[in-house]
Structure 1
Amino acid sequence: MVSHPLQCLTFSLLILPPLILSTYFLAAFPKPPEPLYMHSSLASLPKTSKTWEIYPEDFYPNGAYVAFPSGRVRYWLLGPEEGRKIVLIHGLSIPAMIWKNIAPELASRGYRVLLYDLYGRGYSDAPQTTYDANLYVTQLALLMQYLKWDRALITGVSMGGGIAAAFTGSFPHLVEDQIVLIASAGLIETNDLPRTAKFMSSPLVQTVAASAPVRKYLQGLINSTHHAEKDQLDPIIVRMQSAHLPGYNAALSSSLRDGPIRGQAAALSSTGFKNRKVLLIHGTKDQTVFYKYASKILETLPPETQTQSQLVTVEDGGHDLTITHSDLIVQNLLAFYAGPKPTA
């Protein structure tokens, strides 16, 4: 009988505190979600920055900003308002300036051309989030809704091709029947990603690369460079974004690890691509997205789409076809789009 109170006390001391603590944590209401942190864009740099010489805010005419839940987006509209609508989606590292030789030509031929900087690049904000297909697809869908565009011809280069695939799979009603994929990612196998890219995209390396001392060092290198030739501006804009934008390297890293450069087989084979026409343009010497992926994309499309699609092979062409073979790109786009307009 003496041990009974002792047992009760032992039970109280050993069992009750964890039980009460567990009940508290299970019943506790969570804190409200933190707002999405936004890293600055090129718009934050002073107008005296060399970046503004290479890629100014008014690089294209008729530019504007629009704010969405994942950040502010910079876009431009070229060509007549009544023209057939085209969206041009840039790739992994170079913002909308990659279309500098393409967009004005399409606009001069009567097309209404939409260009924009993807999140984390150029003049669009860099949200601190995962840069997966959903982020990019939602960005374009919201932009088209904001502009009151019901449908558009979708054209993407490099990772922009992967975004075009994901967008068509997710929002087929917003896409006209003709889609163009230039040097397109979307099906890259992990083994084909360079070891350097894998290493540089690791979270640890990105933390170091985004640190203030490293960016300060890069800024010093940029400021010491001489004025670049016109054909050398694209690699310089990559270095400038890396040096000046805290969220740029993280955006590239997440895009490589989580983004639409891989894993788009389901989108490409989905009903979203059924009975559409796809034009693939790819260079045989592409060392970023190997030429073999053009055929893989074509083979992944629905059977009826394969028969209506075509692959334009650019002999000895590299990855930067929109710069090195812009005339060929324009000619093929105009010829491809010249077919009968899709029914509404």
Structure 2
Amino acid sequence: MKLSAGVTHYELRGDSGAKTVVLIHGNAAPYITWNQTVGPLCEAGFRVLRYDLFGHGFSDRPELKRYDRHFYNVQLTELLNRLGIAEPVRVVGTSQGGSIAACFAAERPGAVTRLALLAPFFDQLPGQEGAAYRLLVRPIVGELVLQMMSDRKLADLSDALVSPETRASLEREVIEQFRYRGKRRAILANLRGDALHDATSCYRSIAAQGIPVLLTYGAQDQKIPRASMSRLRELVPGIEYHEIEGAGHLAHYEFPDRVSPLLIRFLEG
């Protein structure tokens, strides 16, 4: 789909008269992380929209210095408009996609009826104060550092999945996106924007709107600090929380039989 900033790769499945669920992936892997989620949601009677954020998967990599939350929110707004989806939607976001989902709801009051957050980015990531991160966000230096890193290193999901077999399978698919020009530039644009910076104000807004929120978290998550999830639960009263034992950061991908039923029950409300 051609939008103002470029082409967005998407899939829309389900009956046109059904309630629409939008799936927003995170930073580590594109919309393929929803492969095990789309089917169960469609079988439950939802119309499901998943798409690649700009700079990820098979969507374009716009030549901007920074990709910020508003930039991603415009992408989703335009995509919904072009698809003729005018009614309020249910949104599911994982990792960075969780904060993008929250900020979309904050920017567009009334556009989101229910919000499911799967190990969402909230206020801080491990390593953001480290030397490596500071180098990557610096102009010129970041480009040089990233050029020294292999595609395999950049596609590494060792801190996102528990099962080595599942991780290897997903990494093989993730590495495909590096065949397309501009992926490394897009990585830096994403890091240099505000999409991975403190999103407390967005979550405070959804709490003020009274949007029902589901929060899931893998007990072995190495990307999102448990303390961040505790602070999020304090910020959003009435949040429904489920911890997935034995799961890492991408619990919905690795344990769909445990996460999908939680999503369906919540989204049906």
Range class of TM-score, shorter chain:
0.7 to 0.9
Contact preservation (8 Å) 2:203, 2:235: yes
2:259 aligned with 1:324 = no
Unmatched 5+ stretches in structure 1: 1-65, 223-227, 340-344
1:155 to 85, 92, 107: 92
Q: What is the CA deviation profile of residues 46-101 of structure 1, one whole-angstrom value per residue up to 9, with x for unaligned ones?
A: xxxxxxxxxxxxxxxxxxxx212211111111122221110000000311100000
Q: What is the Cα deviation at residue 194 of structure 1? A: 5.9
Change (3 A) 1:151 1:328: same
Unmatched 5+ stretches in structure 2: 156-163
1:186 to 118, 122, 129: 122
TM-score, normalised with respect to structure 1: 0.68
Superposed CA RMSD in Å reads: 2.6
2:31 aligned with 1:96 = yes
Q: What is the Cα deviation at residue 285 of structure 1? A: 1.6
2:266 aligned with 1:295 = no
- Give, in whole Å, the separation in 1 of the partners of 2:235 and 2:125: 14
How many residues were matched structurally? 257
Q: What is the Cα deviation at residue 268 of structure 1? A: 1.0
TM-score, normalised with respect to structure 2: 0.85
- Give, in whole Å, the separation in 2 of the partners of 1:321 and 1:296: 20
Q: What is the Cα deviation at residue 195 of structure 1? A: 5.0
- Give, in whole Å, the separation in 2 of the partners of 1:104 and 1:197: 37
Larger Rg: 1
1:133 aligned partner, one-letter code: R
Specify the SS of the correspondent of 1:311: strand
Change (3 A) 1:325 1:111: same
Q: What is the CA deviation profile of residues 81-123 of structure 1, one whole-angstrom value per residue up to 9, with x for unaligned ones?
A: 2211100000003111000000111112211000101001111
Contact preservation (8 Å) 2:24, 2:101: yes
* More displaced 10-residue stretch of structure 1: 125-134 or 190-199: 190-199
Q: What corresponds to 1:79 in structure 2?
A: 14
Identity in percent: 26
1:335 aligned partner, one-letter code: R
Specify the SS of the correspondent of 2:102: helix
Specify the SS of the correspondent of 1:270: helix
2:245 aligned with 1:310 = no
Q: What is the CA deviation profile of residues 205-247 of structure 1, one whole-angstrom value per residue up to 9, with x for unaligned ones?
A: 5423666xx69x759xx9xxxxx976523223343333x2332
| Equivalence map 1:1-344=2 (5 Å) | 66-129=1-64, 130-149=66-85, 150-176=87-113, 178-188=114-124, 195-208=131-144, 232-242=168-178, 244-270=179-205, 273-301=208-236, 306-307=237-238, 309-339=239-269
